Amino acid sequence: MNLTKPVAEADLRASDADRDRVAEILREALAEGRLDPEEHAERIDTVYRAKTMGELEPVVRDLPAAGGSRPQPGPGAYAYGPGSPVPDQNLVAIFSASVRKGRWQAPSRINAVAIFGSVEIDLTEAVFPQQQIQINVTAIFGSVEIRVPENITLRSSGSGVLGAFEVETNDAEDANAPLVMVNGYAVLGSVEAKPKRGAWIRDLRSRLREGRRELRQQLREDHRERHQHMRQEQWEWHERLREDHRERRDRFRKGADG
């Protein structure tokens, strides 16, 4: 009777999906500062050289599982970031300009002061660590311009004194959408806040997902290239061995014939 001994889990062959899963954990650890770039590079190299599950497990033994330290997005799939608090941010422009835009973690409170200057706050690509953001604005002979994604709630409580305080209020359909509240005043200056048409937070999530897919694809391609390079080196090594064997055999035969 032939009984096949079951294979231990650690001895199971790792699949590409297993390697990608571990690589995702390492990517999050790098983003959260748990690993520095050098450690991340070393572990990624180990991941794509691993052949068994047992070789993958030690790479992430000291790290939380992917997504374990991050809050799950709500039903509206908004791009809320890590739960750690983000410090208040001050944007001051006195006879100058101050701009904050691009992909950034927006704090719960932003203080914007423009005196004979201009401040631009663009939240269309921002990640919201919390649901509510308060922007306190002071514009004296200056201007403050605020742009937000189209699918968030935008409200205001401010006034203009010989100036303009214009906030295009907007109520999002989704109750889980972020809320941006603009408070303050404009004295011989202007404050303008409105949604940027066509800019949606879920667009950012799509770009992030696409970026992760591109990263995984690049890692897989790098792994295939390294594998092919190793196979080529092995083939060349075997060819050299065969050539050395033929040369020794020919010398031996010539010696025997002499």
pLDDT 10s digits, 175-206: 778 899 999 889 899 999 998 876 666 554 45
pLDDT beyond 80 at 167: yes
Q: Are 138 and 90 in contact (CB under 8 A)?
A: no
247's tokens: 């040369």
- As a whole number, mean pLDDT of residues 119-140 equals 88
Q: What is the DSSP string of 57-114?
A: GGGGTTSPPTTTTSPPP-TT---B--SSPPPPEEEEEESSEEEE-SS-B--SEEEEEE
What whole-number distance in Å separates Cα of residue 11 and Cα of residue 80? 39
What whole-number distance in Å separates Cα of residue 170 and Cα of residue 159? 18
Rg, the chain, Cα only: 29
Count Cβ atoms below 10 Å from residue 165 Cβ, excluding itself: 23
pLDDT averaged over every residue in the chain: 79
pTM of the predicted model as reported, rounded to 2 decimal places: 0.49
Strand order in the sheet with 109-115: 89-94, 109-115, 132-140, 179-187, 153-161
What kind and span of H or E run contains 234? Answer: helix 201-257
What whole-number distance in Å separates Cα of residue 13 and Cα of residue 15? 7
- As a whole number, mean pLDDT of residues 221-236 equals 80
pLDDT beyond 80 at 223: no
Q: Are 170 and 197 in contact (CB under 8 A)?
A: no
Q: Are 51 and 14 in contact (CB under 8 A)?
A: yes
